[in-house]
Chains A and B, each alone.
Chain A
């Protein structure tokens, strides 16, 4: 029997720490959304020996967890997971399904949406409910510097993917109660057409920029690779990390690891110094959690300048040089 109450589902992506955080972040957002439409927050977990994660999701806001636990599901499989999700969704009819935009999530969510013949919005930077009870998905659109508010009026569930770091998780509460619904592996599950030959966990990516208290970000306005190197000196003195915009990474002024933005790293420094960056949404989506922003740009009207606490109208490289000098002087004195 399908349940009467509405529900918001979050796909439990637990394969490693990084994925799991986005699941927790989505549970937190789902909890806010659920209050607005009087719905229940559910997590969905497929795998083998996954009780640890089930507990974790309940502690982070899931009121109910659907679990299918079977040795066949030990490693992530798009074919099998999609089939399981389809069945679950057809049985319980969720209003909303949220999936983290991890590598797996990006393979999984589009197939699920296609099966369920419903819309899917990629990389939402905002999720809300409107008066009509529709999920309003805010996402960058047209490859430009604009955000679009997108809804899926006529189909259910409403589906969205969200990059890690977009929402904040709520602190865990191991006292929290949640219902666990154990769903047996269906007998007529399709054959998996992809076989895992080998899988090696790569050394966990160093999350340096993501955790740095000070980040010095540079954009195309730095002018050249050589001038851009100046930012590394500044970052070193500040004990911080260097971030970059996409054109900078494309021109190889900085490593790909430095790329900050919606598509890659979300940073949350206490102090962010931004040099020669226009402030395109794809970049600024990655810095929304910065506490204090100092931006340098020749153009006082650049979007980056509008969102700064201190906007410096000047040449980026000259300010960088002056900054280094002044810092050295002050640290010495």
Chain B
């Protein structure tokens, strides 16, 4: 039996979230959540491995209670059981602490796993750090940016493109891979399945105490990185503003900047003033 774990994160569906400058926080409640695309591809890869071999899939997420939605979706797609790590104490974790927390949950609830699959990155933070750091925490090997996965005997063969090299790699199991969105297009989730997942979810909710987390390694306190401040970069230039009818604007633009544009494209853009107007 191939025991797999898929780590997934809920991300906002829109990329431009309203930013509350007053409180300096993100108005996340205004955004609908979805399963991070790369995580969904990772789950799809796991489902295909499960179909080919005798497999079992545990989906794990750490996040606010609302993030349970992605676990239900995972069950609808075919995951066997889910772990929901949700606790105020876990909030504000940076990647080092997120990977620590995920690792503790895995050690307690699925210690005999063969393969962990993660997304290569999340669409909201895009650090791409959690996968490799989780592997380090569990002391297992990692291959990031996998595009194609094939199971061998006690090992797994991965194809990927890494810095302009097309590589085939073989990794000992247990191990961790992160998946890109190039292959493994996620299956369509039938509504009926989603309904079942809501009626009878096999989801275990886990708190910081359940995991026996070291407080010095948890949430915002445990995170070695500190945010000093947050700002919107306003690289304002003293610029020329042109308004009006497009044709007039463009004529004006060329009157003033024909040299500048012409020199770059190596063409003479001057016109005889008399001949137009």
Contact = CB atoms under 8 A, between A and B. Distances in A.
Interface in B4-24: 11-12, 15-17, 19
Interface residues of A, number: 96
The size bracket of the interface on B is 35 or more
B108 interface: no
A198 B265 CA distance: 44
A188 interface: no
A204 interface: yes
A111 B233 contact: no
A93 to B, nearest CB: 16
14 contacts: A16-B164, A79-B141, A103-B145, A119-B96, A143-B12, A145-B232, A148-B227, A152-B224, A213-B264, A271-B260, A300-B241, A309-B240, A312-B249, A322-B247
Interface stretch (B50-58, B75-83, B109-117, B170-178): B170-178
Given A104-B163, A331-B267, A310 B257 contact: yes
B246 A239 contact: no
B124 interface: yes
A325 B99 CA distance: 56
Interface stretch (B130-138, B195-203, B207-215): B130-138
B164 A333 contact: no
A176 interface: no
B172 A106 contact: no
Contact of A199 (B127, B137, B166, B175): B166
Residue among B125, B246, B264 with the most chain A CB within 10 A? B246
A188 to B, nearest CB: 16
Nearest 7 CB-CB pairs, A to B? A143-B124, A193-B141, A119-B224, A119-B225, A110-B132, A114-B136, A122-B127
Nearest to B240: A310
A152 B95 CA distance: 13
B153 interface: no
B151 interface: no
B42 to A, nearest CB: 16
Contact of A149 (B124, B129, B227, B258): B227
A281 B17 CA distance: 13
Interface string A9-53: 000000110110000000000000000000000000000000000
Nearest to B27: A144
B129 A315 contact: no
Nearest to B161: A202
A2 to B, nearest CB: 21
B253 A294 contact: yes
A105 B161 CA distance: 14
Given A103-B162, A145-B16, A194 B171 contact: yes
Contacts of A180: none
B34 interface: no
Nearest to B227: A148
Given A146-B230, A306-B236, A110 B129 contact: yes
Given A114-B136, A143-B124, A308-B239, A78 B231 contact: no
Nearest to B144: A107
Contact of B239 (A108, A141, A284, A311): A311
A201 B164 CA distance: 6
Nearest to B257: A310
B126 A263 contact: yes
Interface of B: 11-12, 15-17, 19, 26, 94-96, 99, 123-133, 135-137, 140-145, 157, 161-172, 175, 223-237, 239-247, 249-251, 253-254, 257-258, 260-261, 264-267, 269-272, 275
Contact of B17 (A15, A142, A246): A142
Contacts of B226: 150-153
B209 to A, nearest CB: 23
B264 A271 contact: yes
A1 interface: no
B88 to A, nearest CB: 19
B133 A147 contact: no
Contacts of A322: 246-247, 249-250
Interface in A230-246: 238-240, 246
B116 to A, nearest CB: 14
A267 to B, nearest CB: 14
A174 interface: no
A78 B141 contact: yes
Given A104-B162, A303-B232, A307-B237, 18 more contacts: A16-B165, A103-B162, A104-B163, A113-B133, A119-B224, A142-B125, A143-B124, A145-B19, A146-B231, A194-B141, A194-B175, A195-B169, A197-B167, A197-B170, A312-B241, A314-B246, A326-B247, A331-B269
Nearest to A156: B224
A144 B28 CA distance: 11
Given A110-B95, A270-B264, A314 B244 contact: yes
Given A103-B144, A114-B136, A145-B16, A120 B163 contact: no
Contacts of B12: 143
Contact of A198 (B163, B168, B240): B168
Contact of B249 (A239, A305, A314): A314
A144 B246 contact: no
A143 B11 contact: yes
A292 B26 CA distance: 33
Interface in A164-203: 193-202
Given A114-B96, A195-B169, A238-B265, A151 B225 contact: yes
Nearest to B245: A314
Given A104-B163, A201-B164, A196 B94 contact: no
Nearest to A318: B246
